[in-house]
Every structure is written in C-alpha cells, then in structure tokens.
Amino acid sequence: MKIKIDILKELIEKGRIETTRILLGSILNVDRAFMWCLYSISNKDMVHLHIFITTKGE
C-alpha cells in the first residue's frame, strides 16, 4: 500500500500530528493507529518519515 507522502509531509510540517494519525487510521482501516514521526528537513523537499503502525489484536 502506498500512502501519499506529500499529504503526510504537509500535515507534519504544519504540526498536525493528531490529524495525520486519524488520517492513517482511516486509510489503514484499523481500530487503532499509533504513529511515531521522526523527521528532519535537510531541504524543502526532504522529509524522512518513520511510521509504526499497531493494530488491535496483533
């Protein structure tokens, strides 16, 4: 599954972590989606994302 990184990048840059978490939960259709984002912007086009998803029952 490919998630649109540009959308996540924009939300994270604006500090909308909770919105991003809700969006991920919706996209993945899971009971719970927890996201941990570590991002560093080396230039305006580069954001490194590390997304860890846990789903209920796994």
Domain residue extents for the chain? 1-58
41 vs 47: CA distance, rounded Å: 5
pTM beyond 0.85: the answer is no
13 vs 19: CA distance, rounded Å: 12
pLDDT at 13: 72
- Residue 1's alpha-carbon distances to 7, 21, 24, 27, 43, in angstroms, are 15, 17, 12, 10, 26
Say if residue 11's pLDDT is above 60.
Answer: yes
Shortest CA distance to 11 belongs to which of 1, 2, 21, 26? 21
pLDDT at 39: 45
What are the tens digits of pLDDT across the range 12-41? 777 776 777 677 766 665 555 444 444 444
